Chain A
Amino acid sequence: MNKMVKITIDGKTIDAEEGANLLQVARDNGFDIPGLCYYDKVSPTGACRLCLVKIKEQKGLIPSCTVKVSEGLNVTAFDEELEDVRRTIVELLISEHKLGCMTCDTASECALEDLAYRYNVTVDNLPFPVKTKYESIDDSSPVLAYDPNKCIVCGRCVKACYEIQGKGIIDFIGRGIETKIAPDLGVDWKNSACDGCGECIQACPVGALFEIPSVGKARKWEVEKIETICPYCGVGCRIEVEKKDNEIVRINGVDDGPANNGRLCVKGRFGYEYEMSNKRLRTPLIKENGKFREASWDEALTLTARKFSEIKKNYGGNSIAGLSSARCTNEENYIFQKFMRAVIGTNNVDHCARLCHASTVAGLARAFGSGAMTNSIRELEFADCILVTGSNTTETHPVIATYIKNAVLNHGAKLIVADPRKIDLVKYATLWLRQKNGTDVAWLNGIMNVILNENLHDKEFIKNRTEGFDEFRMVVENYTPERVEKITGVPKEKIIEAARIYGTAKNASIVFSMGITQHTTGTDNVLSTANLALLTGNVGKLYSGVNPLRGQNNVQGACDLGALPNVYSGYQKVTDPDIKKKFEEKWKVALDDKVGLSVVEMMNEAHKGNVKAMYIMGENPMVSDPNLNHVEEALKNLDFLVVQDIFLTETAQLADVVFPAYSSFEKSGTFTNTERRIQLLNPVLKAPEGAKEDWEIVQELALKMGYEMQYNNQSDIMEEIADVTPIYGGIHFYRLGKDGLQWPCKDENDPGTLFLHKGKFSRGLGHFSPVDYIPPAELPDKEYPYILSTGRILYHYHTGTMSRKVSVLNEYEPGPYAEISPELAAKLNLKDGEEVRITSRRGAIVTKARITARVAPDSVFIPFHFAEAAANRLTNDALDPIAKIPELKVAACKVEKM
């Protein structure tokens, strides 16, 4: 904090921080100086001149929003002259403004309307001619519209798009009274690169920019506003939902949301339509003779309990397996794994984190002792160097990407991107390494080789805080830049430059995601990123660390709460007798000490007939899992399948019993975002009549199976979690408030942990692992000559169960496609949009070609959200031996024009 100084405003003495914004300071101290262009989240513009003040010993009237506080400033904020000038400005604005307040969706929250009221300005007493010729509105974007006739040219949107979102899609065009804003090179909004995040709408003080889906739904004063957490990705943005009559009218970012600071992406702001879908499940279903019929809760629960009990009795608890859900709350995940372990008597419980970050959990636990982001999301903005690899952050964690862009554009950080695809972040990068898919260990070792050779490693840190350096060094010495160039295809000069940038940065942060983890060498890849951070001492301090980005809203929490076959909540091993004893005492039942089956293993065992029944809560393996044809056969081979979900998903259709559940807009409970922050949900809407919360369903099932479970609500469950889970020891609902808490949080007085491993690693010393490069399980050959990888896109989410029921998201991206390079397209004589058949050793799909230089010449990329051309019919279910994560990022395929 800067030093405090004294200033005077209208005779009152005020203590303020030196360098603070004068307008802000004045307002904070009760001087309500008007101002339309000032927006505290961006740099001041000084455009509207409403905030003019007089400052003693300075000439003229000065816009206070452009003044920095210094000792002794003597300010006049209000006198007759200033108020006259302000009134004139408001009159001028009103004369040029289309007064459409009666139908404007912003009315009553409009800053211009407020000023007109304050200065008593009406159209009939204006000293200026009133503008009556109107320009057309641009409502071509799926989500937002711009009315130039209401635009007061304050520039807040322009700065919001550039300085906050890091995109710069819009700017001013024209001169004088004709000035307005326009996207890109002056195209229609629809044809611009605008991705619909809506930051500009949120910044607009008037109704010039507005949400199309909200038009005409409610006047601002009719809505009720409730804050909760975004139902989509692991960033965990805090949202404010405006609702009327149990319908969502609009969603805004919450300005002091700890992860998002008011920011959202298009899904968070506009992706809520599924919530009101009439396809929601409203009653339990039982399948008879291949067809579903509606059933009462009692009937469906009794049938399920009877079946589970029978199978358990005949074949043992280990013949049943459960999939918990990264979409359900922490409390529900805890209850689900407890049900599987205590009631069914098996450790066969897992969830789709297996498919994305099992290798992160395994790798980082080995290197540091904790498998989560070491730092907090907003620290990224202040790192000097960010290495992003295997994460198309702009699309998968859109709000996190904005902080990375802020670091580059607003603070001059150096960004290194290592990715086979030319992703959006490459535009912002100092350096781009285009490695061949699956060669990550090699280029990471190459960088470390150079760091060692050039003596850029942190000897002090290595000596005091790590172990295993010598063995590690022996391996890395073999990875000369020349050799690495041969393996990875990255020119050796770039390896050297990357080493120098990362190796000399004051604080460097590594960001990675599924491009690193979804390999048969996933754990090795993760260990290599950890090695790099250890080697340079870039972990265990503010802004520096190793940061895996977790995909789904509560995938971190589902792991934390023990929806994994090898650990109870808080990563406590099922094989540890003391831990087992603790849980046996708490749960009053004997527990199994063998590690259970992971997702892919469950499917294999079901295929073989060893797993007889499955209980799936809120997951959709029929789209999300690798080698889908195999999954389908496995699920069909079960004696009994139970699915609980909000929609009749592809997986639910195969079930014998389906239970209708609540969505996250309808319940309480907590989610843990990717920065380990436990945040409280608020019920916003009433759930459909007939549905129940997931934890309630599990509890009723437990009771029917004769196991005592009596929680009144999710808060009760959290009390038990805190009791048995050291890293969640201090988590109680009443402590969470608006900011939540970041684990580890061991007791009531623990404020939580911003970044991990300060002073000491969770496991004691940081562990270097010697890691050698191993090629991917399946490489291109004559028959399957191209490399296939899969991933996510901005406009859809996971298996599309929610996002594909949102019409504006479908407008952006209606269906499946494959990214194909111009080189490959030329070879196949393929035009953009034409159909192609893509075949791997496991299956084939037909989809549309999208020709783009984003992919390397010999590679194909397919988003996995689309069931009708499911990428996972092609993917390889070969597993990482340690983490059991399948190799979703590399398969060999062939491509044919239809």
Chain B
Amino acid sequence: MKIDTILSKYEPKSENLIQILHDIQDHTEGNYLKEEDLEKVADYLKIPKSRVNGVVEFYSMFSKKPRGKYVIRLCKSPPCFVKGAFNMLDELKSQLEIDVNETTKDGLFTIETTSCLGVCDEAPVMSINNKIYGKLDSAKIKKIIENYRKGKSEI
């Protein structure tokens, strides 16, 4: 969808900023917010670019860099932390050979961290493009990633 079409869905009021950003990010290949689009948003809402940037930088769900087709978000809030979230993070990093906030060369995966996803009894937990995977261990992570490589989101 073109940026202008997206913008035209909203009234030019600064309250709509977050929604607009979501909408644009969801419709951008690479799942991110391009600089020129952010400029257009600022123009459209008649607010400073720096304010748009402040919001983008505040919420971890927004990214200014292109991300993989699948964005993996590992929860690192206390319940998941206690259940070994950081080992799972190392697991992800070594299996995908990238660091947090990086994207695999094939453009498939990005690793990010997040705060509580609200399913703590399943800890440790991660999400991939909004689908939740709980009770992780290294074998399970391996399986999930293999399946995604084949284009399947089921385990």
Contacts and interface: CB of A to CB of B under 8 A. Distances in A.
Interface in A140-189: 158, 162, 167-175, 182-186
B115 to A, nearest CB: 10
Contacts, number: 44
Contacts of A185: 35, 38-39, 49-50, 52-53, 64
Contact of B54 (A167, A171, A193): A171
Contacts of B38: 185
A685 to B, nearest CB: 38
B50 A170 contact: yes
A741 B8 CA distance: 52
A304 B136 CA distance: 96
A897 to B, nearest CB: 28
Which has the most chain A C-beta neighbours within 10 Å: B35, B38, B39, B50? Answer: B50
Contacts of A171: 48, 50-51, 53-54
B39 A167 contact: no
A186 B57 CA distance: 9
B48 A162 contact: yes
A183 B49 CA distance: 8
Interface string B29-60: 00000010011000000011111111001100
Given A185-B38, A186-B64, A169 B57 contact: no
Contacts of A184: 49-50, 53
26 contacts: A158-B50, A168-B47, A168-B51, A169-B48, A171-B48, A171-B51, A171-B53, A171-B54, A172-B58, A173-B53, A173-B54, A173-B58, A174-B57, A174-B58, A182-B50, A182-B53, A184-B49, A184-B50, A184-B53, A185-B35, A185-B38, A185-B39, A185-B50, A185-B52, A185-B53, A185-B64
Q: Is the interface of B mostly helix, strand, loop or mixed?
A: helix
Contacts of B58: 172-175
Contacts of B57: 173-174, 182, 186
Contacts of A162: 48
Nearest to A169: B50
A158 B50 CA distance: 9
Contacts of A167: 48
Given A168-B47, A182-B50, 8 more contacts: A162-B48, A167-B48, A168-B48, A168-B50, A171-B53, A174-B57, A185-B64, A186-B53
A173 B39 CA distance: 17
- The size class of the interface chain B forms with chain A is 10 to 19
A183 B48 CA distance: 10
Contacts of A158: 50
Contacts of B54: 171-173
Which has the most chain A C-beta neighbours within 10 Å: B47, B58, B64? Answer: B58
A167 B50 CA distance: 10
A770 B68 CA distance: 68
A627 B52 CA distance: 48
A632 B58 CA distance: 60
Contacts of A170: 50
Nearest to B35: A185
Contacts of A168: 47-51
Contacts of B50: 158, 168-171, 182-185
A85 B58 CA distance: 28
Contacts of A186: 53, 57, 64
Nearest to A162: B48
Nearest to A183: B50
A677 B50 CA distance: 37
Contacts of B64: 185-186
A196 to B, nearest CB: 16
A834 to B, nearest CB: 24
A182 B52 CA distance: 11
A184 B47 CA distance: 11
Nearest to A175: B58
Interface in B8-46: 35, 38-39
Contacts of A175: 58
